[in-house]
Amino acid sequence: MHNMDNFTDERDLALLDEDRYTFFVLKRLLGGTNTLLLSDHARLIICFSSEPFPVWIWTPDDASEEELERAYVICKENGLMDGAHRFNIKYEPADYFTKRAVADGVTFTIETNMFAYDNPEPIAPKDVCAGSLHQCTADDVDALVELMDMFHHAIDMDYETLEEYRIKAEDGVKHGSLYVWKDASGKTVSCCNWRPTGEMAAIGLVFTREEERRKHYAENLVYQVTMIAKNAGFLPMLYTDADYVASNACYEKIGYILRGKLCTIAPQ
């Protein structure tokens, strides 16, 4: 067995500061309840929160082939190389895992190329749109559940039940972290949330109903929620699918700056 602890401490947080954008979510997960958490506090962190989410693996940029092999073997020893788990990982270890897994009968492909952005100086949208921002209340929970379900079908991953979406919607309402854009008629057309960790805040759950797209709802919604996070004293950031050129251009228009790259590999 490899010398790994099943806890993290300030040493791990210091390691993640080197990759503060790409591993923002992992830093948040370390403070919660996880199915698997392993760290040597120096060169390797492995964290699996729960199904249906990916396993997070942090390695330093200069990780050697020997260290990547160690990471792979530890994942295998813990049942993660069963052809059912996905991994959020840097590109070099992703390439190593993909080639190494062939011997175990697992074929990985890149599922998502992720960009990590931050926004130190938000830029107001030039394209105005009808309607206004609303902080979600209990009256919005049903609409939020519907939007969450559509969001996960759109990205085709991380599916949960409608009841699980409802729990998350109610929790977001309780903490004041969920926002929607309502058009001039009062229809809920777009949603997003923000979640702080340390000095940064992640903007997420950005989704607009398909029939309401290209009306600048998401651009205005994300800008206003970004300003809420910034005015609360946090540095706004977000993850995007690198292959969604239009949405990335939208974020860049309101001041988001590309800071890091990551990928999700998934078994075929």
Task: Answer yes or no: is 62 within a domain.
Answer: yes
pLDDT (tens digit per residue) in 114-164: 999 999 999 999 988 999 999 999 999 999 999 999 999 988 888 899 999
Same domain for 80 and 176? no
Same domain for 64 and 138? no
Same domain for 85 and 19? yes
Mean pLDDT calculated for residue range 1-20: 91
Same domain for 73 and 36? yes
Among 97, 105, 106, residue whose Cα is nearest residue 264: 97
User: What does the mean pLDDT of the chain come to?
Assistant: 95
Task: Tell me which residue range forms the domain holding 240.
Answer: 132-259
Cis peptide before 125 (omega within 30 of 0): no
List of E strands, 82-199: 87-89, 108-118, 132-135, 178-182, 188-197
Q: How many CB atoms lie within 10 A of CB 213?
A: 14
Task: Answer yes or no: is 265 within a domain.
Answer: no
Same domain for 191 and 232? yes
Among 228, 206, 230, residue whose Cα is nearest residue 218: 206
Record the pTM: 0.87
Which one-letter amino acid corresponds to residue 21? Y
> CA-CA distance, 224 to 267, in Å (whole number)?
38
Collapsing DSSP to helix, strand or coil, 47 comes out as strand
Last residue of a domain, one of 88, 106, 124: 106
Same domain for 150 and 205? yes
pLDDT (tens digit per residue) in 168-218: 999 999 999 999 999 999 999 999 999 999 999 999 999 999 999 999 999
What pLDDT score was predicted for residue 169? 97
Task: Answer yes or no: is 118 within a domain.
Answer: no
Cα-flanking dihedrals φ and ψ of residue 187, to 5°? -75, 135
Last residue of a domain, one of 71, 106, 141: 106
> CA-CA distance, 24 to 49, in Å (whole number)?
14
Domain count, the chain: 2
Last residue of a domain, one of 90, 106, 122: 106
